[in-house]
């Protein structure tokens, strides 16, 4: 019998090249040697790609991008070291743009807080940066996930947003329910790590939702956040996690790389996609936008914080119906624009969506209006625009 001969041509492995990451390294090296809380409130407000040498290590908050951006030379988080974050007033997500390599052997923690009981349940649970607060005893939680979904947690349509995680956004908070004894849990945060070198993840990156309180039998879970990694190589045997204690509220993970380690554990699971060069960090100039322009004739701040305590973005001194004006760009007039009114206290059913009427404009720019009655006390108002 003639032997079967197989010929094999062995080619040299394709060399990985550095991605073009827009980092000038002006935040220096991030090499903590012990547990550290990064205070995002110290970030200077400016443009994301500006040189930050005068504010080294504290990052830049760009309101247009709604993100806290750090431009590092390199990042090394040793085993046994945990990095946590104190939120900016806007609760914006975190972006690390790194000239060199990223080595995470320790833990990067952007988890949302869990629900609480007793007096603490009157204060909204704090999310990871980029996520949304849980509801104190009485109302629904905040965020695109409505704070309550088909399975009673912070989901909207299983996972909202898009697989590219553009824009970068974390998880929604869960609500407490009228008559319950615990507050809703907060959503997981969101982080983008983009490296011109390689990312090695032998530790953990967490963007998990907070759990409901053990005593809050009617309180709900938050939803998972978002983790996005961009590098030519992502290696290691660590863990990436953006989940909730309820599967319906799982967040998103996005890996843009030419080489992904098969032994990294990811929840939820995802597949790697090749990175663009330069990578796409932000939604394009023509991306649709929606924002609240005014309430009761008062201009809404361009960069609201919804403090819900001691002060407000807009003050209303009566309980009659007031006009809410919303602006859209790059959005069809045939679409649907809504605002959600969620009182800080008042029961889950008091949080409701109102559909606005198209008042003027076209695809490029339109205004929409509705008359809404606000109850006494603090109320969060958010807008959304959808195309059927």
pLDDT at residue 306 in the model: 80
Please write the tens of the pLDDT for every residue from 349-371. 567 889 999 999 999 999 999 99
**What is the pTM assigned to this prediction?**
0.86
Between the CA of residue 227 and those of 20, 76, 146, 159, what are the distances in Å? Answer: 20, 18, 21, 13
pLDDT at residue 4 in the model: 38
pLDDT category, 116, cuts 50, 70, 90?
Answer: low
Mean pLDDT over each residue of the chain, to the nearest integer: 84
pLDDT category, 377, cuts 50, 70, 90?
Answer: confident
Please write the tens of the pLDDT for every residue from 69-86. 999 999 999 999 999 999
Q: Is 169 exposed, middle or buried (0-12, 13-18, 19+ CB in 10 A)?
A: buried
234 pLDDT exceeds 90?
A: yes
Higher pLDDT, 232 or 174: 232
Phi then psi for residue 106, to 5 deg, are: -95, -135
pLDDT category, 183, cuts 50, 70, 90?
Answer: low
156 pLDDT exceeds 50?
A: no
pLDDT at residue 6 in the model: 36
pLDDT category, 261, cuts 50, 70, 90?
Answer: very high
pLDDT at residue 5 in the model: 39
Higher pLDDT, 10 or 320: 320
pLDDT at residue 113 in the model: 84
Q: What is the 3-state secondary structure (H, E, C) of the chain?
A: CCCCCCCCCCCCCCCCCCCCCCCCCCCCCECCCCCEEEEHHHCEECCCCCCCHHHCCCCEEECCCCEEEEEECCEEECCCCEEEEECCCCCCCEEEEECCCEEECCEEECCCCCCCEHHHHHCCCCCCCCCCCCCCCCCCCCCCCCCCCCCCCCCCCCCCCCCCCCCCCCCCCCCCCCCCCECCCCCCCEEEEEECCEEEECCEEECCCCCCCCCCCCCCCCCCCEEEEECCEEECCCEEECCCCCHHHCCEEEEECCEECCCCEEECCCCCECCCCCCCCCCCCCCCEEEEEEECCEECCCCCCCCCECECCCCCCCCCCEEEEEEEECCCCCCEEEEEEEECCCCHHHCEEEECEEEEECCCEEEEEEEECCCCCCEEEEEEEECC
pLDDT at residue 216 in the model: 44
């Amino acid at each position: 019998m003639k032997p079967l001969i197989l010929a094999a041509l062995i080619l040299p492995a394709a060399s990985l090249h550095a991605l073009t990451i827009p980092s000038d390294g002006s935040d220096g090296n991030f090499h903590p040697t012990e547990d550290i809380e990064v205070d995002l409130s110290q970030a200077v407000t400016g443009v994301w790609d500006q040189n930050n040498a005068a504010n080294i290590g504290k990052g830049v908050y760009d309101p247009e991008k709604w993100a806290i951006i750090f431009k590092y030379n390199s990042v090394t988080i040793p085993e046994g070291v945990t990095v946590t974050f104190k939120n900016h007033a806007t609760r914006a997500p975190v972006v690390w743009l790194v000239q060199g390599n990223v080595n995470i052997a320790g833990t990067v923690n952007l988890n949302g807080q869990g629900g609480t009981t007793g007096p603490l349940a009157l204060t909204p649970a704090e999310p990871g940066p980029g996520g949304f607060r849980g509801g104190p005893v009485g109302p629904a939680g905040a965020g695109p996930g409505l704070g309550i979904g088909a399975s009673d947690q912070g989901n909207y349509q299983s996972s909202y947003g898009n697989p590219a995680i553009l824009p970068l956004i974390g998880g929604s908070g869960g609500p407490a329910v009228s008559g319950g004894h615990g507050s809703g849990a907060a959503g997981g945060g969101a982080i983008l790590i983009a490296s011109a070198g390689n990312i090695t993840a032998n530790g953990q990156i967490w963007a998990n939702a907070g759990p409901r309180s053990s005593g809050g039998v009617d309180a709900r879970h938050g939803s998972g956040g978002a983790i996005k990694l961009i590098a030519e190589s992502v290696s290691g045997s660590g863990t990436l996690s953006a989940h909730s204690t309820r599967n319906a509220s799982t967040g998103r993970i996005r890996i843009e790389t030419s080489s992904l380690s098969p032994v990294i554990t990811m929840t939820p699971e995802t597949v790697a996609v090749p990175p663009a060069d330069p990578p796409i960090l932000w939604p394009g100039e023509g991306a649709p936008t929606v924002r609240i322009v005014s309430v009761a004739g008062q201009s809404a701040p361009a960069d609201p914080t919804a403090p819900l305590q001691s002060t407000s973005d807009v003050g209303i001194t009566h309980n009659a119906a007031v006009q809410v004006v919303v602006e859209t760009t790059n959005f069809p007039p045939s679409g649907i624009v809504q605002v959600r009114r969620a009182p800080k206290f008042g029961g889950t059913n008091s949080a409701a969506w109102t559909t606005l009427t198209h008042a003027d404009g076209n695809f490029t720019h339109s205004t929409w209006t509705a008359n809404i009655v606000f109850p006494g006390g603090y109320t969060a108002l958010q807008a959304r625009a959808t195309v059927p």
